[in-house]
Amino acid sequence: MKLFKAKKGVIIPGKKDDTAKLATVSYTSPEYVYIPLSVKGNDFEVLVKPGDKVKLGQKIAVRKTGVPLVKHATVSGEVVGTERKNHRTGLPYVCIKIKNDFQDETLTFTPIDFEKATKNELIDRIEEAGIVGLGGAGFPTHAKYRGAENIDTVILNGAECEPYLTSDYRVMIEDTFHVVNGLRILMKTAQAEKGIIVLKQGYKEAYEALVKECAQYDNLQVFLVPNQYPAGWERQVVYRTLKRRYEKYPYECGVIVNNISTAVAVSEAITEGKPLVERVITVGGEGVIKPGNYRVRIGTLASELIKQAGGIAKDLGDVRIIAGGPMMGVAQKNDDFVITRALTGILVLLGEHKYEVPHKKPVGDVLLDVLHFSEHDPRFFIRDEQPCVRCGSCVFNCPAGLQPTLLRDAALAKDEVRLGKLDVMECIDCGTCAYVCPSHILINDAIRRGKTYYQVKVKNTK
């Protein structure tokens, strides 16, 4: 049950300055790569066996169930076998382990002239290249276009509204041609007449580069959205640019939305024949010595990339490692997890510290310390959840127009009927409710568990 229309969002400190102005650094020589399949792994047909020699870009696995998905070798070398490694979701995935021979012996890739290619030829190449949504969702891109009809607009989403993350920003500056060319290819694939590139206000250098590149095409537009969170949410992007609404998917109103980096991967797959074997991700946060953006091979261990970024500062004590952004990312137990195609960043943030009341300090000074702490202040103390004060901040600020506090109660009570009535599946896991809560209640964590419970209960009752 929704109460309000989607709100514009909240202002969150961007914390992007440490990485936004730095050129992307390539790290494409890990000792091993671990190509993740799935938790069980039996839904993939593995095309290689231990001892096989593989080339960079060689197809090594294909998903047998559900939406087809192709996996490729991201280095040349020898297949060691399969091994479980932690995924960005925190779950242990079955992975194909490949030992790098550091030769980067590459398959011969055949480009396609997209101007002359048919829709199905373009979609088939996108599927063979293993391209998925690189903004975090990871949904196979070819599936968006396979049955798409009556699409008039393709939107590239470069809003990148999460703090710290700047990988899309650097891609828009450094790979401007591929961004625009990828958009044109996707427009041809969807048979759409119009293309829009969306980015945030404040992304001045990227905006200027894109406007210059798009100037030669009459049907392309660069659109700025406010510097708010979650301005990059698909529904908000579609509404801000075209004033259109939809129930479940953008194609219902004639639109397809893709991430900026996805468009680059599409352009490289068509014009160069290159499968998706690497991506740009942000390594940031106060806990890492050299924050930056890195072009990295899929399957590289996060620990190796953090090491390339100078490692974790030793004088900070405990740190928190997050796969993704601070709002929607997943906290990790350690840095031993795999970089996947949909991973946008790795953050090393300061850990929580108990606040100890200093002796011989005036009470007034202690109160000022407590009231004016900053989130990443060394004095940052553990904030225990307090009782809900019914202020309504979570309801007022929910971009999906939901009632987070009631959803939390229903989730904790495991009441699937109430969860259904309150539209739990409409929650986008943005974390805004927890961010604005004055009682420090982790509302989104409870709702996320409620979504999982609801899905299981609904599935079992069908």
Residue 332 pairs in a beta bridge with: 321
Is residue 188 within 8 Å of 126, Cβ to Cβ?
A: no
Reply yes or no on whether the pLDDT at 380 is more than 60: no
Query: What domains sit in the chain, N to C, each tagged with a CATH number?
Result: 126-271 (3.40.50.11540), 393-461 (no CATH)
Tell me the C-alpha distance between 330 and 302, whole Å: 14
Residue 94 pairs in a beta bridge with: 38, 84
Angle at 291 between CA 289 and CA 297, to 5 degrees: 115
Tell me the C-alpha distance between 346 and 254, whole Å: 34
Edge-to-edge strand ranges of the sheet holding 53-54: 32-38, 92-100, 77-86, 53-54
Reply yes or no on whether the pLDDT at 4 is more than 70: no
pTM: 0.90
Is residue 342 within 8 Å of 300, Cβ to Cβ?
A: no
What would the pLDDT profile of 364-379 be if each residue is shown by its tens digit?
665 655 555 544 444 4
Distance, C-alpha 57 to centroid of its chain: 23
Angstrom distances, CA of residue 400 to CA of 2, 116, 407, 424, 433? 8, 42, 13, 10, 11
Q: Assign 296 a pLDDT band (cuts: 50, 70, 90).
A: very high
Reply yes or no on whether the pLDDT at 101 is more than 70: yes
**Phi and psi torsions of 153, nearest 5°:** -140, 135
Task: Give the 3-state secondary structure of residue 37.
Answer: strand
Q: Residue 108: its pLDDT value, please?
A: 84
Q: Residue 247: its pLDDT value, please?
A: 87
